[in-house]
């Protein structure tokens, strides 16, 4: 799904590990559940693929891969994949608008499907969380995140956020270089483990059991 070769290799490695672990949620479903849109924030193009700011894009790729989503389609000023997690129909969306205009893409999709913001989940990088920590929050501010600010502008603040920690570099003058910098080789094992845990426990998000999702992701990362 338009990812760099290094990231694709990491996804393949994690997929192999996950299959061996046998912890993935069941994929069977018995009824058609309400649709949700999950949006990963990032910037399009290979030069940005491994940036910390693109962790939302990475999460979409891993979820699509692990849960066997359909092929990539170009829609809503972005790239989408359709699938199910548990019983819930999910549309994964990666805006192609660049970060600052993410809300335009997300707004197009939400209006097309006539969904309210309670059907929207946004995955994004979070400076105020330690690297590879994952927290879920309903509504709130934007904390200076341009992607969140754009979505707030188009749809309001009442959407769910999956906050993926990238840590703070310690001084505000270093923030831009940190956010728009690549993950280091030494961080890649932790990156793979975190993304895999998020994807493996995604069924709890689909069921709106945010507490169980956060707990089980944390438990996986302690193994």
pLDDT of residue 144: 84
Q: Judge contact between 96 and 79, C-beta under 8 A.
A: yes
- Which pTM value belongs to this model? 0.86
CB atoms within 10 A of CB 43: 20
CATH number of 5-222: 3.40.50.1470
pLDDT of residue 178: 94
Structure tokens at 1: 């799904």
Q: How many helices (H) and strands (E) does the chain have?
A: 8, 7
Q: How far apart are CA 150 and CA 25, in angstroms?
A: 33
pLDDT of residue 30: 35
Closest CA to 9 of 65, 85, 84: 65
pLDDT, averaged per 10 consecutive residues of the chain (223 residues), comes to: 53 53 45 77 96 97 97 98 95 97 97 95 96 96 92 96 95 93 95 97 96 97 84
Specify the length of the chain in residues: 223
Residues designated catalytic: 53
pLDDT of residue 34: 77
């Amino acid at each position: 799904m338009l990812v760099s070769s290094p990231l694709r290799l990491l996804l393949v490695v994690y997929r192999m590990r996950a299959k061996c672990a046998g912890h993935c949620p069941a994929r069977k479903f018995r009824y058609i559940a309400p649709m949700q849109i999950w949006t990963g924030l990032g910037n399009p193009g290979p030069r940005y693929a491994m940036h910390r700011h693109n962790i939302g894009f990475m999460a979409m790729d891993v979820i699509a891969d692990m849960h066997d989503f359909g092929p990539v389609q170009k829609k809503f000023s972005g790239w989408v994949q359709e699938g199910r997690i548990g019983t819930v129909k999910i549309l994964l969306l990666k805006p192609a608008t660049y970060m600052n205009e993410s809300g335009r893409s997300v707004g197009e999709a939400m209006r097309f499907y006539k969904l309210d913001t309670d059907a929207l989940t946004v995955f994004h990088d979070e400076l105020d969380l330690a690297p590879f920590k994952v927290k879920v929050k309903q509504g709130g501010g934007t904390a200076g995140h341009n992607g969140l600010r754009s979505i707030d502008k188009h749809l309001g603040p009442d959407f769910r956020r999956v906050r993926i920690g990238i840590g703070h570099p310690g001084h505000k003058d270093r923030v831009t270089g940190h956010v728009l910098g690549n993950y280091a080789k030494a961080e890649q094992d932790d990156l793979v483990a975190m993304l895999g845990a998020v994807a493996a426990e995604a069924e709890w998000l689909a069921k709106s059991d945010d507490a169980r999702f956060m707990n089980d992701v944390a438990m996986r990362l302690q193994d």
